[in-house]
Amino acid sequence: MAVAIGFGTVAWSQPTLSGAVDVVEGSLSNPEDDVMAFHWDVTNETQDTLVLMASRYIVQIVQPFNLPYVEDAEGAHERFCWGPICYPMGSMHSNTSDGLLVTLLPGATDTTFVGDYYPNGVAGVSAFEYCFYPPGQEELSACHTTLLCVDAETCALSTADLDLGPEWGWSFASENPADELMAVSYTLFPGVEATFELFDLSGTRVQSTSLRGGQGLIWLDTGGLSNGIYLGSMQQEGQIMTSKLVVSH
């Protein structure tokens, strides 16, 4: 059986995550770990009614990974449940239609969030960040990252692909032009938060991801972007570093 390790997490903003899981460990030799499930509660500790969606962001994935998901294809895959439904494999965001958002009155707790990870014969460490926020107000997110470790000697994020300067910076870390996914490796000053943003040539922001101090690797879902040239940008303490990304499907 998969082992879940975690404790309560209070985000810097609304809402509050209770019992958020840090690590789920499993083994390919255990049939019970064919699906590694984890759960936590989302609570409204404010005096206002909250209407929330959920998003899943890739921090690190094993290879092969089945994304975009194709039924019966090789590779690990995942999904999450939020509100009244479980979303299709590989979904990044929950639906924002009426009836599919989660409404929390003051003091109420929602228990519907579940993450499901399917190793599908692939060992290693994948990690996903889950965020809960009012639609269009990602700055009010409460987020938590969970590591899924399958027969891993070290259950931790990998920094093996990072090749950055000693202070701070970032680079595209997978094939450019990109098709469905693009890796971004980064180094930030300790204790500093930054934002990675992706813009099209009209200056419209098409993606934004918050980063925390230290080294890391994030994945951009580029499968839904149109073919063309985009500009990646990271800002930290008034300094800006940009680079060009080409998307070609």
Mean per-residue pLDDT for 78-106?
Answer: 93
pLDDT of residue 190: 67
Return the structure tokens found at 82: 């939020």
Q: Distance between CA atoms of 118 and 105, rounded to whole angstroms?
A: 34
Indicate left, alpha or beta for 166 from its phi (over 0: left) and psi (-120 to 50: alpha). Answer: alpha
Supply the pLDDT for residue 167: 61
- pLDDT above 90 covers a percentage of the chain that reads 43
Query: For 7-93, where are the alpha helices, taking DSSP H only?
Result: none
Per-residue pLDDT reduced to its tens digit, 45-76: 999 999 999 988 877 888 898 887 889 999 99
Q: How confident is the model over 6-42, as pLDDT tens digits?
A: 433 333 358 899 999 999 999 999 999 999 999 999 9
Tell me, letter by letter, the H, E, C secondary structure of 217-249: EEEEECCCCCCEEEEEEEEECCEEEEEEEEECC
* Structure token pair of residue 186: 């980064």
pTM over 0.75: no
Q: What is the pLDDT of residue 203?
A: 84
CA 107, distance to chain mean position in Å, is: 27
Task: Say what the pLDDT of residue 6 is.
Answer: 41
CA 69 to chain centre: 16
Tell me the pLDDT of the chain averaged across its residues: 85
Output the pLDDT for position 159: 54
Contact yes or no for 145/128 (Cβ under 8 A): yes
Q: Kindly list the structural domains of the chain, giving each domain's residue range(s) and its CATH number in brackets, ordered by start.
A: 3-150 (2.60.40.10), 169-247 (2.60.40.2550)
- Our CA angle for 103, 108, 113, nearest 5°, is 65
